[in-house]
Every structure is written in structure tokens, then in C-alpha cells.
Amino acid sequence: MFGATRRVVGFIPRRLRPVRQVHGDGDGEERLHFHKSKGQHILINPRVLDTIVRKSAINPADTVLEIGPGTGNLTLKLLEAAHKVVAFEIDHRLVQVLEKRVLQSGLKDKLRVIERDAMKAPFPRFDLVVANIPYQISSPLVIKLVYGSTPFRSATLLLQKEFARRLVANPGDSDFSRLSVNVKLLADVEHVMDVSKRDFLPSPKVDSSVVIIRPKPQVPNVDLREWRAFTSSCFNNRNKTLGASFKNKRKVFELLKISNENDKASSHKGDDAEDDGGFTSFKEKIIGVLRTGEFEDKRPAKLSIEELLHLLSLFNQAGIYFAYRGHFKREDRFDADDE
């Protein structure tokens, strides 16, 4: 969360919210300026806060990671339940308010605040994530967690309702998307509850939902960079048939170039040159794979993860690749393009 802490006298603009309204322990003079455009919406409903903490199943020995603690309404409850809370907050003025409240509560030794952008900084070790996530970073943050290098037990996240629906969507649902398949490849997602926009200050335009993401103990043996490039190609037009999508001239040329480069990296030249003849034969190879697997007339939005994994395997067996091979970097495992 972002914002500014300021002391004012006289006329108070509507955009300035009293601390007393936000967390009930202000002195009546202090004011916080919240920026809606930066996702600054403070959860103020005690019932929802208690439910989030209870559903997170925090153990007394756990370290909890919180992204954007804001004024600390959730943080204080997490500190009571956990061994330690590590909170990422980039707004120094909000950090001052947070640390003041934690000091007054006597829990200062259990909190570590990192004043950095959570999307640009490495995460320390943690057991759980519990956070009210700004909409602007929802997709890249979820992917960073699920595809990142730090193992964790679960992530209880308060997200915009529309985004949460995409996370829990199944094949055939209207909200099933690339985000759905990329997250569900490695994790299970549970919808916990919906949260009214009236439970926040300032109030956002839409309602929110709480979801819990739990990494799977066993995941498919698949190159994750290849998988994510493959799902990008498939879900670029998720309601078109795969046959129609993969006949696109630009896409065929792109896959031909990648596949030939990968063949060269494997110390042998590919069979398909990048000329008209090579293009034609490569396109026929793609369609042949789709027909062999009976995928030509199917739409990605209706395919299960198992079916998509099978199709990717068929493509790779035929020498058709979606991502360049090379030295694998951990940061290649996530980016912001998963909508």
C-alpha cells in the first residue's frame, strides 16, 4: 500500500480519511491521504480481517510474508498469531504509521519491514503469505509466488473479485484463461469468501475476494519456460480453434525460427529452412501434430491441463518448440504477461 501521513488543520478535503476511521486508534488530528490509483484501499472490517487470519491456518512458529501492509490492520492480527511477519511496504510515510501502531501494541520485535518494491526484490524465507494485494500487481505477484524459488505452504490473498474468478476458473468456464492454467499447473486454488467494497477505506469501485493458493506437492515434469511460452501461443485467441490459431502465418514463422535455433543449439541443423518451402513443410508439421492428437478443432479455453501438457509433448516430439533453449535463469520463470 502507498500513501502519505500528514497533520492538517481547518478544512479537510474528502480524499483525506481520518486515522480513526481506518484503524480506530488515531488521535483525531492525524490524517492519511490514500491514492486509489495506486491500489490504496485499507480493509477495515474486523470480521473479514479475523476470517483471513483464521483461514490462513498460521502456526505459532510461522514466518508470514505480507505485501503492502498499509496502516497495519491485518499486520497486527498476523503478529498475534505468527512467530514473525516480514512486510514489504514502499511508502515510508505508511511505514511510520505502521511501526508506531506495532510499537504501541508491544509486538515490535516480531515485525520486519522491508521498504522496497516487492516485485523487484528477492523474498526472504517465509512459510505463508497473507496479504491484501493492489490490483496493479496481482498477476505478476501471483506468478512470482507460484513460479518463484522460495517454497511456501500457502498464500491467502485478498484480490479484486474478477481477478480471483480467473484464478479459480476451470476449463469451459468463461473466466478460464492463461492465468488459470499457469497457476493451476503448480498450485491448487480455493475460493474462501467475497468481500464488499464497503469494507474498505477508501472504497474501491468493485468487490473483492479472498483466495488461498497452495503449491502442489507433486508437479508435472515439464520445462516451465517452454510451458509458459506454449500457453501464451494457445491463449492469445483462447476461443479460436487451435487449427485456426496455428495456421496464422506470423505464428508459424515465429515457431519455425525458434525451432530451428533450438536445433542448431543441439549441434545439428534443423530439417526446415526458413524459406517458402521450409515454411510450408513446417506449417504442415504443425497441422499434422494437431490432427494426430485430435486437437485441430478444439479450443484452448475448453482444454484441461492434462490435455495441454499432452499437446505440448506432441509438439516437442515433432521438433516444434515455443521458447528458446539455453541457460535457464530463475527470473525467466515469471513475468507480468499472464492475463
Binding-site residues, in ranges, read 41, 43, 68, 89, 117, 132
Give the span between the Cα atoms of 154 and 188, in whole angstroms: 10
Residue stretches of the annotated binding site for S-adenosyl-L-methionine: 41, 43, 68, 89, 117, 132
> Is the Cβ–Cβ distance between 28 and 18 less than 8 Å?
yes
The sign of the CA dihedral 300, 222, 156, 69 is negative
User: From residue 200, how far is each of 36, 40, 135, 176, 182 by CA, in Å?
Assistant: 11, 9, 14, 28, 30
Nearest Cα to Cα of residue 229 among 140, 301, 333, 120: 333
> Is the Cβ–Cβ distance between 86 and 64 less than 8 Å?
yes
Q: Which residues, in sequence order, are CB contacts of 22 under 8 Å at separation 6+?
A: 32, 42, 44, 71, 73, 201
